[in-house]
Structure 1
Amino acid sequence: MTRVYTRRMLPLLSSALLCASCSTPAIKPASTEAQPQPQKTAVRTELARETAAARSRQIANVSYTLWFGLDEEHEDYQGRVVISFMLKEKARSVSSTLPVDFSGGKIHSVLVNGLEFTKPQIEDRYDGQALTLRTSALQNGANRIEISFTRKFSGMDTTGLRLFKDEEDDGTYIYTRLGPYDAHRVFPCFDQPDLKAAYELAVETPADWITVANTLERDSNKIDGRISRAFPPSPVLSTYLFALHAGPYKTFKADSSGIPLRILLRRSFARKADVHAWLKATGDGIRYFNEMMGYPYPFTKYDQVFVPGISTSDSTSFEPAFTQSAGAVTFPEEFLVEKTRGGHHKTRVGFVAMHELAHMWFGNLVTMRWWNATWLNEGLATFFAAKAVENALKSSTAWEYFHTGIKTRGYAADTGAGARPVDAPVPDTGAARKIFDDLTYGKGAALVRGLEFFAGEEEFKEGIQRFLNRFAFRNAAIADLIKHLSEASGKNLVPWQQSWLQTSGTDTVRAEWACTPDAKTGKETVTTLSLKLTPPDGTTRSRPHRAKIAFYKQAKGGNTLRIKETFDVYFSNPETPVPQAAGKPCPDAVFPNSSDLDYIRVKLDDRSAAVFSQKLKNIEAPLDRLLVEEALALSK
């Protein structure tokens, strides 16, 4: 099949290329038609942090105007992009060149501020990974680059723009799967998180396809038996948040707080899926987050596209198969299969849904400057997913799942030679991909929960809201969040940041206590209670903690072990007395991390271990029962 739109693609871009109501885009004629290069090999290269920092010192105010031609018959797709940006006054002193990232494609034509590159110039400047511009050829202030290109669809085992052919329904489904330094595997761009940009988009596809982007469709028009859909400029986003999904998807719709919601599925998969419960959970989540974040849902719609060819077994990371693109998230199809409905799976599905929704604030509204601060995205989104599962989805087992499915994986990864700080150096994007692991998600989210308790729940909420409003549609560092939480709580949280995010390993706590009979009543009361803190093996450092100590007592006339008294205690020294416990009725057992609020391992004192080992099944609080069982194993 010959593409009917091929000749429209090859000439250079014009400002009118996104006019979806025009039958043929207006095109600036070139004196000679540029010939394409040979397809470049899409060998994976990485972006160094120093290179990204240098480029950030050169340019600002980036925007992209894009056109894509997609179909089911070819192994490659066609595209055009106009990149507009401001060249900073001192850009040339930073470097004599400015790279435009584009991996493994063909460049057909280049126009820089109205001047067209010749074929030899394109061949000289494009090496298959980047188109290198000379800053001497750019002008101070506003610049405009126009590039027409083609690229093969990515394989199902790689990132980029994927194509999947469904043998069941004979449909072709296309979707972006992007992570660190992956957007340039789709189109030419400045592919780093701190060069946020608006994306205006037009996509030409077969007439029966639906197209999904970061914004709501503006208009559409039939062209030569195909359809062109136009999308208005998005809010400014990092490149890895760009979304383009297309195909004959079946669509399910709902609404939450005026935000259009859609679920899109392959036609052959739609009959197997349980859609309505997921849409309801999404709506409940948006309403909850609107109140919690103090910043309303920041995009014009929320699409959830369940795509084929990916699975949660693709890697060992907590969230390996999901993409958090602004307003257009992708999920593996397995999460909508009916059989996954059940206690554990239902809670897990809720976490996944709420985690990606939380990214609309943490990662999309506010984005880390560089990948070392991925905790700002993943740690916060994972923690707030748990809060949403508890409060929006009304799950009574949210924190039990959080502990067993997330936090314990952080504990395991935070031991031995493989442990690293949550905020560790990330010299390039290859290293960035490796930190999407149980330390970032599991330990990272557990530390956020500990930070909430340490700062105070209401103070933490206030600090989060200040942070989101201050850095909306901007980039931030971890220090920016800590500053706003410190101001809201009245506590200097920089030592917490240094102790917890910039070191590795897990502390251990043990309660030591004694009781004696009261001289007047003869009833036993507590005389001493202290917490013994042990740092990770091989270290002597102290870290700030806040934990909830629980006194357990067997219920009268029964076997149930119930919490009779709790004490919220700050501690950081090797031994910390708890004077407020003195004179309290003597408990049967003491557990020094009730409700799992602190990131710490517990070793039980001998008296408590003896009681808990006999009465484990009688502990009334399900979460504490899990924690005590782990502590018993650690105390042997």
Structure 2
Amino acid sequence: MTSTANLTRDETAARAAGIRLKTVDVEVDLRGAVSRDAATFATSSTLTFEASVDATWIDFIGASVDEVTVNGAPQPVDWDGSRVRVNGLAAHNVVAVRGTGRYSTSGEGLHRFRDPVDDAVYLYTQYEPADSRRVYPVFEQPDLKAQWRFVVVAPDGWEVLSNGAEAAREPVDGGVRVAFAETLPLSSYITAVAAGPYRRVDGVWDGPDGPVPLGVLCRASLAEYLVDSGDAEEILGITRRGLDFFGEAFGRPYPWGKYDQIFVPEYNLGAMENPGLVTFTERYVFRGAATVAQHEGRANTILHEMAHMWFGDLATMRWWDDLWLKESFADFSGAYAAVAAGGFPDAWVTFASRRKGWAYVQDQLPTTHPIVADIPDLEAAKLNFDGITYAKGASVLKQLVAFVGEDAFFRGARRYFAEHAFGNTTLADLLDALEAESGRDLREWSDAWLQTTGMSRLSVSRDEDGVLTLGQSDPRPHRLTVGLYGFEGERLVRRGGVELDIAGERTTLEAPAVGGVASIADLIVPNDDDRTYAKVILDERSTDAAVRALSTIDDALARAVVWAALWDATRDGDLPAARYLEVVARHAPAEENAALLADALAHAHAQFAIGHYVAGADRSAGAAAWLETAWRALWAAPAGSDAQLAWARAVGAAASRSDGRAAEIAAILAGSAPAPEGLRLDPELRWDWLVALAATGHAGMAEVDAELARDGSAQGRTAHRTVLAARPDAEVRARAWHAAWEDESLTNDHLDATIAGVRAGGRRDLVAAFDDEYFARIRPAWTDRSIEIARRLVVGLFPASQSLDAVDAWLAANAGAPGALRRLVIEQRDGLARDLRVRAAQPVA
């Protein structure tokens, strides 16, 4: 970003103080998008606003600004590439800006995608936090809301969509001109446009104020997996139940008219909550087998985005400091609604394992920040869409619900929306509403949870008399339960629990409260119902019990807490990586929860426990042993089960570092040997296995080209790039490494695929020569490329060296580098330092 593109909190607050925005009329002309060399489009905005200042600026990043008029009078174009200066403002103003925008291939702004299957072109927008200015001139800040009227000119035969319902359509030369109904007040970052020959399924939600049209859309070449397969009906059903649930929970029905949900290619996020036009990644369109956990994950995302229709869209944070006011609440609400209305009763289990795991990792970085963060500018905002803002915030809200009670929490939410609908809010506004309904003073709670960093560590110690003492580091107020488990034969059975509120460093647990069994508890699990946010430390006896019998614990939520505790101990170097792999090998085959199984396998596989934490001398043997574990479990898993699919994916990951089963995998892919009974060799699994074969030198061009002929889809072509880059040849990896930095024609997905190939198999020996060049390139890349592309390069190609010297030297020499870039480098340094520290702590084999 240039300096003027990187908007700051202070200057946008000053602009908002002098501007009261009313309406924005936008027209974009997309008729030329189908041309092979299309790069730009015509765009214009007319902004109506009141002003108490005589000059301001309008944000626009594009190819040109061609005309500016202020209250009917032309003004000279004063544009620096990101800001259009306007002068001579009156009390009431109509300012029109006409220019030329650029299509995007990075997923920022108006993304243009050409489907290799049928040559069709698809367009969609993605703006958060500040990319609507790449598509039309706007006031790019969340606290200048407007009512928007969109007009889109597009080729004939295309679906054309925006936030509002279609209001008029007329033919024009070479296409059609579509006008949309005026929206209710919206911030610029949640406006949206999509256009292309999308296929759709229509539905209706019978809301309390009348029927609401629903739509589910995807590319034509994916329609067989979503539209024709009937999978869209599952999405529509979740949507109807969610709209019922949230309307009642938040005290007002869905306010935005129609509800389209569109699955789009090369998407940078999981989804985005644009009212009336929610966008989703195509990864949620399942081209093959999908586990219950995958369906649950999609439902959770649908409900997360739906919660934003209230938290974020109806009541919007004033600036990005309070991003948590929408993301934390949506993350919490997605899991809550998945249980209450989505049909997925284990959603809190997945949350405990996956979302909180993300938060725990983020919160231990040196760049951790409070949930209510200090966000001085847009670069900082872009990087704050992280595990703190989403998952830690949601975890803390779960604790808040326990603290004030569910009824009071939802009454407070209803009051909040009643008082702030269509406005902008801060932390104090929400706390006021919750305090009014709960009768509790939440300022101390807010100080302890929302405005601090890090996490408490919860552990239980036993004395000689069997007395248990709960300790916590970094003390905070918690409402939690300590679960006590004992062996009955080879099973761990819950014998009781102690429910309590704590705030200090040490609390004695009274044995009578649990029937006197405390002294004989084999496994003691603080927070076994996962109500609070804290790192759980198991004592030695409990660790031994978990290693022996983790999978026999009946309650999946308690198992999630224990799995997480063991993984945290491994990451801290307190549990040897080899012992963690032993736990996974013993208990993952018996794990009945698909999400817990998938997470355990992901933590164990070659790119994590083995790739990061096993000492180098033991890594090859560890990788070979893990491949054998995964291979045996694959063949033993029930035919067609979620477990079978999870183990098949684990085989692909393990086989990228060890070639012990390369011949069998190649034979199965070639059809000359049978696959395990019931296993669907869908395109994604085939490509995963082929990447593994390529990374170990067991796939030649004939096999690679044959697979591309079998799957010539966009996804197949992207995977093909990874396979080509993954071949274990120094020249191949060098070409891919340089292409990642230098080939600006690579789309966001193609860049990811190239980086994945460079990293495949952990072949450090093939890329170590580029370490110095990496550090020479990252700062220019940050300046010259979009922040989305630059972030992928900085993170994806960070050198996994055996020393911190090079990264420390860069940090010392680049104290003046942009803060967001330094944050990424510091985080990568911390990961490398942890790897080196944990490897050094491993016992000698």
Aligned to 1:407: 356
Alpha-carbon contact 2:109-2:134 (below 8 Å) kept: yes
Alignment of 1:531 with 2:484, yes or no, is: no
C-alpha distance after superposition, 1:496-553 (max 9, x if no partner): 211222221111122346797xxxxxxxxx8x55422212xxxxxx321111233435
Offset at residue 62 of structure 1 (A): 2.8
Question: For the residues of structure 2 that align with 1:208 and 1:564, how far apart are their CA atoms?
Answer: 65
Alignment of 1:138 with 2:96, yes or no, is: no
Offset at residue 612 of structure 1 (A): 4.5
Question: For the residues of structure 2 that align with 1:610 and 1:308, how far apart are their CA atoms?
Answer: 47
Tell which deviates more after alignment, 279-288 or 55-64: 279-288
Aligned to 1:619: 553
> Which residue of 17, 22, 42 corresponds with 1:78?
42
Aligned to 1:571: 502
Q: Which amino acid aligns with 1:220?
A: R
Alignment of 1:465 with 2:414, yes or no, is: yes
> Which residue of 179, 191, 214 corresponds with 2:128?
179
Aligned to 1:381: 330
Alignment of 1:494 with 2:428, yes or no, is: no
Aligned to 1:523: none
> Which residue of 310, 318, 321 corresponds with 1:369?
318
Aligned to 1:504: 453
C-alpha distance after superposition, 1:115-146 (max 9, x if no partner): 122xxx22xx2222111122xx1112x21112
C-alpha distance after superposition, 1:362-383 (max 9, x if no partner): 2111111111111112111111
Q: 1:239 to 1:246 in 2, by over 3 A?
A: same
Alpha-carbon contact 1:362-1:381 (below 8 Å) kept: yes
Alpha-carbon contact 2:70-2:86 (below 8 Å) kept: no
Alpha-carbon contact 1:548-1:568 (below 8 Å) kept: yes
| 3-state SS, counterpart of residue 46 of structure 2 | strand
Alpha-carbon contact 1:515-1:586 (below 8 Å) kept: no
Aligned to 1:60: 20
Alpha-carbon contact 1:46-1:181 (below 8 Å) kept: no
Aligned to 1:10: none
Offset at residue 611 of structure 1 (A): 4.6
Structure holding more helix per residue: 2
Structure 1: which 5+ residue stretches go unaligned? 1-40, 315-319, 517-525, 536-541
C-alpha distance after superposition, 1:413-472 (max 9, x if no partner): 111423222222111101100111122222222112122112222222222222222221
Aligned to 2:6: 46
Aligned to 1:290: 247
Offset at residue 585 of structure 1 (A): 3.1
Aligned to 2:828: none
Alpha-carbon contact 2:160-2:194 (below 8 Å) kept: yes
Offset at residue 608 of structure 1 (A): 4.5
| 3-state SS, counterpart of residue 275 of structure 1 | helix
1:108-119 matched pairs, under 5 angstroms: 108-117=66-75
Q: Which amino acid aligns with 2:250?
A: M
1:341-356 matched pairs, under 5 angstroms: 341-356=290-305
Alpha-carbon contact 1:294-1:465 (below 8 Å) kept: yes
Q: Which amino acid aligns with 1:531?
A: L
Structure holding more strand per residue: 1
Q: 1:550 to 1:575 in 2, by over 3 A?
A: same
C-alpha distance after superposition, 1:578-615 (max 9, x if no partner): 55955733244243202111101222345555554544
Q: 1:83 to 1:583 in 2, by over 3 A?
A: closer
Question: For the residues of structure 1 that align with 2:450 and 2:412, how far apart are their CA atoms?
Answer: 18
Alpha-carbon contact 1:43-1:104 (below 8 Å) kept: no
| 3-state SS, counterpart of residue 569 of structure 1 | strand
Aligned to 1:33: none
Alignment of 1:272 with 2:236, yes or no, is: no
Q: Which amino acid aligns with 1:85?
A: F
Aligned to 1:519: none
Offset at residue 341 of structure 1 (A): 2.2
| 3-state SS, counterpart of residue 272 of structure 1 | helix
| 3-state SS, counterpart of residue 423 of structure 1 | coil
Q: Which amino acid aligns with 1:269?
A: L
1:82-481 matched pairs, under 5 angstroms: 82-88=46-52, 91=53, 97-117=55-75, 121-122=76-77, 125-134=78-87, 137-140=88-91, 142-153=92-103, 155-224=104-173, 226-257=175-206, 258-273=211-226, 274-310=231-267, 314=268, 320-481=269-430
Offset at residue 391 of structure 1 (A): 1.8
Q: Which amino acid aligns with 1:148?
A: R
The TM-score normalised by the length of structure 1 is 0.82
Q: Which amino acid aligns with 1:57?
A: A
Question: For the residues of structure 2 that align with 1:565 and 1:475, how far apart are their CA atoms?
Answer: 46
Structure 2: which 5+ residue stretches go unaligned? 576-845
Aligned to 1:586: 517
> Which residue of 465, 469, 479 corresponds with 1:546?
479
Tell which deviates more after alignment, 70-79 or 294-303: 70-79
Which has the higher relative contact order, 1 or 2, with Cα contacts under 8 A spaced 6 or more apart?
1
Q: 1:327 to 1:42 in 2, by over 3 A?
A: farther
Alpha-carbon contact 1:48-1:429 (below 8 Å) kept: yes
Alpha-carbon contact 1:533-1:574 (below 8 Å) kept: yes
Q: 1:603 to 1:152 in 2, by over 3 A?
A: closer
Q: Which amino acid aligns with 2:471?
A: K
Alpha-carbon contact 2:498-2:514 (below 8 Å) kept: no
Aligned to 1:27: none
Q: Which amino acid aligns with 2:98?
A: S
| 3-state SS, counterpart of residue 225 of structure 2 | coil
Q: 1:288 to 1:497 in 2, by over 3 A?
A: same
C-alpha distance after superposition, 1:335-374 (max 9, x if no partner): 1124252122222222222222222122111111111111
Alpha-carbon contact 2:21-2:47 (below 8 Å) kept: no
Q: Which amino acid aligns with 2:503?
A: S
Q: Which amino acid aligns with 1:129?
A: S
| 3-state SS, counterpart of residue 341 of structure 1 | coil
| 3-state SS, counterpart of residue 288 of structure 2 | helix
Question: For the residues of structure 1 that align with 2:112 and 2:279, how far apart are their CA atoms?
Answer: 14
Question: For the residues of structure 2 that align with 1:44 and 1:173, how far apart are their CA atoms?
Answer: 31
Alpha-carbon contact 1:355-1:384 (below 8 Å) kept: yes
Alpha-carbon contact 2:214-2:236 (below 8 Å) kept: yes
C-alpha distance after superposition, 1:40-73 (max 9, x if no partner): x999821011110100110113310122221123
Offset at residue 161 of structure 1 (A): 1.3
Question: For the residues of structure 2 that align with 1:591 and 1:376, how far apart are their CA atoms?
Answer: 31
Alpha-carbon contact 1:101-1:189 (below 8 Å) kept: yes
1:557-568 matched pairs, under 5 angstroms: 560-568=491-499
Alpha-carbon contact 2:7-2:377 (below 8 Å) kept: yes
Q: 1:610 to 1:247 in 2, by over 3 A?
A: closer
Q: 1:227 to 1:403 in 2, by over 3 A?
A: same
Alpha-carbon contact 2:304-2:331 (below 8 Å) kept: yes
